[in-house]
Structure 1
Amino acid sequence: MNDYFSWKQETLTHTVSNNITQKYSDGFVFTRRGKGAMDQTRSIRIDLNTFVLTSENRRILRKTEDITLSSHPIPYTDYHWTIGKCAKDFYEKKFGKGTFSANAVKSCLTNAEETNFTMLLLYTKSDDVVGYAVCYENTDILHYSYPFYPLDFPNKSIGMGMMLKAILYAKETGKKYIYLGSAQRPSDTYKLQFSGLEWFDGKNWSGDLQELKHILDNTL
């Protein structure tokens, strides 16, 4: 997480939807470095016109059918310090100390002058929030950027279930693409199990997942 792979970095000065959508199409994604900051990376996206659920997708959805999704605009007015702690603990466990501090989470969710993200997905079970995902959304695209949830949550399918529910949300709300972050390391192969998936190779979008798996398998 601290050694984020990118070919190029840019800062958008005009953060209007059309400009942003084009930048995502050019392989860039929003980051947390500052307002308008984007990295061109090995981005992963799903063409929602061709996306269909696989049998494995359906199995995960059945295992998480008691978890529901709702969307909330950023700045998020119901922010509580426990959200920041949940994110900090999650990313620290996954990627090491200092990856995503509680203060950075709060800024990301509440400070419109600093954040590039526009929407928070909440995942609830029996009225209790069990997961979150920080996203960028406009009429054409959804960037599912920073998901997190309590690591002791008993349903081990929650991570994949959250991602699938976000994909379905994007499709149901008429998006053309959902972006799932980047392919950085061997552990990112879990993102490759969806139909309609493409990845950015530095110049073009490719559907050759075997090539991408080969790249990831040979990444330290």
Structure 2
Amino acid sequence: MRLAFSECTPDYEAHLAPYQVLGFPEDGETAATAFGLGMLPSNRELTRFYLARSVRVDLGRYTESRRERYVRRQCETLRRAFLPRAQLDRPTDWADMCVRYMNERSWWTARRGRPFRTTDLMARLDSPLTTHLLTLTHTSDNAPAALATLYVEPPIAYYALAFYDTRYRKTGIGSHLMSCVIGELKRRGLSHVYLGTCYYEGARYKTRFTGMEFFDGLGWSDDRERLRLFLSRQKDLSGQHLFDHPSYLDAGQPPRPEDTTLWLADASQARHIDSVEEP
């Protein structure tokens, strides 16, 4: 993985010179390589990735929780299907449902100065980032209820986007959709499913599954107490790096040279040197 460091807003008075770590796959490496290193896609073409507090589920340790069973009963009128992107039936009906969702949710509308259109959705569905879909339809009339876009590269998968009919919101359909994806991928023998990032309390729903792990800057951790520490101290880090924060240092040892992120940088440099020295 080739690494680059894209400069972010500095804080000169606090001696902070922040960078976003970007990764570019080399020959023989795929998106799965980047996911395993704690990176997530920063474009739909899967040519560039960014290092983040990524969350994944170890499917070998995953079991359905009591809460998931309760939500599943709330959504018992819905039927699920897992299929390759090209096999989506009645695409116009699905597009209508997804575009309505995008235009009704502030998370989406805050990113655009105009309403979303079908072309905006199709640009996401018809990209390398979407290889498969998991759909939920109503058992009575097969009407679209929810759709998740997935990138599947066995043995891993990435839960990219989710859309649902907002009339089902009170049933917990968003949680049910994610749970359905995790359960389906476990049954298909995959090892991990990646769920995005967790940088604020509202994203903790991604961490409620058994087998949850997050990338903490050093490697993959299942320490939920440390994740809660990160979230609770998020606002305190203005003008300070986490590795320098007293609460972080009290919770464990500082980074060591053999830890994952430093090894990744060293390995990338070593490969560069080897390539330069080749005759």
The alignment's TM-score, normalised by the length of structure 2, stands at 0.67
Matched, 1:79 2:94: no
Which of 172, 181, 200 is 1:185 aligned to?
Answer: 200
* Deviation larger for 49-58 or 167-176: 49-58
Matched, 1:125 2:141: no
* Deviation larger for 141-150 or 59-68: 59-68
CA contact (8 A) 1:117 1:134 kept: yes
CA contact (8 A) 1:27 1:40 kept: yes
SS in 1 for 2:166: coil
Residue 73 (structure 1) shift: 2.2
Matched, 1:88 2:106: no
**Cα distance in 2, alignment partners of residues 154 and 55 from structure 1:** 20
Aligned Cα root-mean-square deviation (Å): 2.5
SS in 1 for 2:103: helix
Amino acid paired to 1:108: R
Q: CA offsets per residue over residues 22-75 of structure 1, 9 Å max, x none?
A: 211101122445442322211111111111122222212222222222123235
Which of 67, 70, 82 is 2:81 aligned to?
Answer: 70
Which of 124, 138, 149 is 2:153 aligned to?
Answer: 138
CA contact (8 A) 2:80 2:134 kept: yes
Higher RCO, 1 or 2 (CA under 8 Å, sep at least 6)? Answer: 1
* Aligned residue-pair number: 209
Which of 165, 175, 188 is 1:173 aligned to?
Answer: 188
The alignment's TM-score, normalised by the length of structure 1, stands at 0.83
Aligned to 1:3: none
Which of 12, 25, 37 is 1:26 aligned to?
Answer: 37
Residue 84 (structure 1) shift: 4.6
Aligned to 1:164: 179
CA contact (8 A) 2:54 2:194 kept: yes
CA contact (8 A) 1:122 1:131 kept: yes
SS in 2 for 1:117: coil
Q: CA offsets per residue over residues 132-164 of structure 1, 9 Å max, x none?
A: 111111220121111111223254311111111
Aligned to 2:222: 207
Aligned to 1:49: 60
**Cα distance in 2, alignment partners of residues 25 and 36 from structure 1:** 15
Aligned to 1:196: 211
The structure having more radius of gyration, on CA atoms, is: 2
**Cα distance in 2, alignment partners of residues 185 and 119 from structure 1:** 28
Matches within 5 A, 1:2-41: 7-12=20-25, 19-32=30-43, 34-41=45-52
CA contact (8 A) 1:76 1:109 kept: no
Amino acid paired to 1:56: R
Amino acid paired to 1:106: M
**C-alpha distance 76-124 of structure 1, shift in aligned 2 (>3 A):** same
**Cα distance in 2, alignment partners of residues 97 and 154 from structure 1:** 20
* Deviation larger for 45-54 or 78-87: 78-87
SS in 1 for 2:68: helix
SS in 1 for 2:168: coil
Residue 187 (structure 1) shift: 0.6
